[in-house]
Structures are given as structure tokens and as C-alpha cells.
Amino acid sequence: MKPAPFRYHAPKTVEEAVATLAQVAGEDGRVLAGGQSLVPIMAFRLARPAHLVDINNIESLGRLALDDGKLSIGACVRHAAFHRPVAEGPLGKLLAAVVRHIAHYPIRTRGTFCGSVAHADPASEWCLVAATLDGEMVARSARGTRVIAAKDFFQGIMTTALAEDELLTEVRLPILAADTRFGFYEFSRRAGDFAIAMALVTFRLQNGVIAEPRIGVGGAEPCPRRIAQAEAALAGRAPDAEAFKAAAAAASAAVDAMEDATTSADYRRDLVGTVTRRALEQA
């Protein structure tokens, strides 16, 4: 099928883009970034936006840089930018390990990090990264700029704190300390499919015990999130099989797993334990 008719806008600056959004947001005006989620749903007429505000000509949104201990990822930075480490140390390696699980190569050359975060699919790998590392989302509109913490940003399946007239201009991730260990494990039925469940973990070792654990789970609930009970089960313990098993069991017990036509909630809850344990073993 072909999309329903729409008006196309191609601003050259962020100011122009947010001014256009202010005018068209009320008539279902949408931002077009990589188009890898929006265009298919328009082609199926599941979405019929009256206006598209294409941000691909805005040069400043291609910025990917380190600022004050944070990695700033501009709205037009594609998934493929992360195929090689974009920062020294564990953060660059973590992003490079995660990106290869996102869709397929051609999609990664077009789709954007910020587009994934704005789209907020429960099984988006970048949303899990933002939630686990407590990323910050920078939202800009004609009314001004605000910074939204990840825990407040993700609000439900494909639902975020972004207002209709707001452009997500960048996502900021904290640079990880050089001795941070990380592990990422996802389960999907075929390579390139969305995850049924996935876990991202980071921790440091101090005097042989686990410090600053972060355990994030995605794909299992409407939004990815850190699982405090699993982190508590890990903190202060030696990184051994017993500790990993305890944290995995705590993660599994804490999630309110989603159910769909092919995957029961019980199966998904069980899978959360497995992906958490495997991510910890990797770390």
C-alpha cells in the first residue's frame, strides 16, 4: 500500500523545525528521522500523519560528541555510527556490542538512535541502554528546552514524555568509568527480530566485590527499566554463579511480564531470569 497524502516540510535549522512543529503538531504532524518505523506504519496506513517534518537536512543534529563527561547523540545520528566504538573505554564498546542486535544492516544505516528512543518500542535496544545508564533526553520546542531523565521519559508502549510539538534533539549518556564491566544478552526468534527479552548489566569490582551494579531489562514490560531488586541482590557480593543466580531470580520475580499471541507471560518472565544471568556472566 501507499501512504495517505501528507504535506512534507524540510527545515534546515532546529528553530525552523520546532516552529513548524508548533504549527502542525495539532494536525498530527510528525517528525521524520530515519523513517524505519514511521514509513512502514504509514505504508500500512496504521499512521496517517497530515504533515511530516523531515529533520534530515538539519546539519547540527548529526552531532556525536563528548561534552562534560557525557556522550551527546544528536537526533540524526544513525544506528550504524555505533558499529565501531564512538568513545574510548567501556561505553563505546558497550554501544558497539548492542548495535549489532538492532534490525538488519540496511535499516541501521538509516534508522537513528534518537528516533528509536522517541518511538519507544518496548523491545528497543537503545531505549534499554538509555534506561539502564540513566540517560537524559533533550526536548526542544518553540516553548523552550527541557531535559528529561530516562525514568520519567518512558511511560508505556510507544509512549513517552515528549509533547506533540517537541523535537528530541539529543540523548546524553554518561561516560562509564574505565573499570566498568558490562554484559548484554537478548533473545529473539531470528537474528534481526525484536527481542522477546533482553538484559543490559554494568558493574565495577572493588576489593573483589560488586559495586555500582546496574541491571536493566527490556522487551518484557511496556518500558525498559532498571530492576532495583536485582541490583540489591548483587551489590557487595563476589561475582560468582550464586550471586548471578540470585540477581537473575530477583529480576524474574520483579517483572510484570507482557503476554502476546506467541509468548506467554510465564515464558517471558522465565526468559528475563535467563537473559539477566547470561548478561552478568558476560560482564
Ligand X SMILES: Cc1cc2nc3c(=O)[nH]c(=O)nc-3n(C[C@H](O)[C@H](O)[C@H](O)COP(=O)(O)OP(=O)(O)OC[C@H]3O[C@@H](n4cnc5c(N)ncnc54)[C@H](O)[C@@H]3O)c2cc1C
Identity of the residue, 18 or 234, whose beta carbon is nearer to ligand X in the bound complex: 18
Q: How far is the CB of 256 from ligand X (least distance, A)?
A: 21
Q: Which of residues 82, 154, 182, 194 is near ligand X by CB under 6 A? A: 194
Contact flag: residue 124 with ligand X (CB under 6 A): yes
Q: How far is the CB of 268 from ligand X (least distance, A)?
A: 16
Contact flag: residue 22 with ligand X (CB under 6 A): no
Query: Count residues contacting ligand X (CB under 6 A)?
Result: 29
Q: Which of residues 72, 82, 125, 196 is near ligand X by CB under 6 A? A: 125
CA–CA gap between residue 145 and residue 166 (Å, rounded): 9
Contact flag: residue 73 with ligand X (CB under 6 A): no
Binding span for ligand X by CB under 6 A among 9-17, 27-35, 242-250, 270-278: 27-35
Q: How far is the CB of 167 from ligand X (least distance, A)?
A: 5
Longest distance between any two alpha carbons in the chain, whole Å: 63
CA–CA gap between residue 234 and residue 241 (Å, rounded): 11
- Here the cell at position 60 is 547540527
Identity of the residue, 81 or 247, whose beta carbon is nearer to ligand X in the bound complex: 81
Identity of the residue, 50 or 232, whose beta carbon is nearer to ligand X in the bound complex: 50
Contact 186, 101 (CB under 8 A): yes
CA–CA gap between residue 27 and residue 259 (Å, rounded): 33
CA–CA gap between residue 74 and residue 170 (Å, rounded): 4
Identity of the residue, 38 or 243, whose beta carbon is nearer to ligand X in the bound complex: 38
Buried b (16+ CB within 10 A) or exposed e, 98-129: bbebbbeeebbebbbbbbbbbbbbbbbbbbbb
8's CB contacts (< 8 A; 6+ apart) are: 51, 52, 54
CA–CA gap between residue 75 and residue 54 (Å, rounded): 11
Identity of the residue, 36 or 72, whose beta carbon is nearer to ligand X in the bound complex: 36
Contact 102, 35 (CB under 8 A): no
Identity of the residue, 36 or 180, whose beta carbon is nearer to ligand X in the bound complex: 36
Contact flag: residue 9 with ligand X (CB under 6 A): no
Contact flag: residue 172 with ligand X (CB under 6 A): no
Strand-strand pairing, 167-174 and 181-187: unpaired
* Site for ligand X, residues 103 to 122, rule: CB under 6 A: 103, 107, 111-112, 114-116, 118-119, 121
Strand-strand pairing, 51-54 and 29-32: parallel
Contact flag: residue 224 with ligand X (CB under 6 A): no
Q: How far is the CB of 189 from ligand X (least distance, A)?
A: 11
CA–CA gap between residue 140 and residue 169 (Å, rounded): 6
Q: Which of residues 14, 17, 58, 75 is near ligand X by CB under 6 A? A: 75
Residues of this chain that interact with ligand X (CB under 6 A) are 30-38, 40, 75, 102-103, 107, 111-112, 114-116, 118-119, 121, 124-125, 162, 167-168, 192, 194
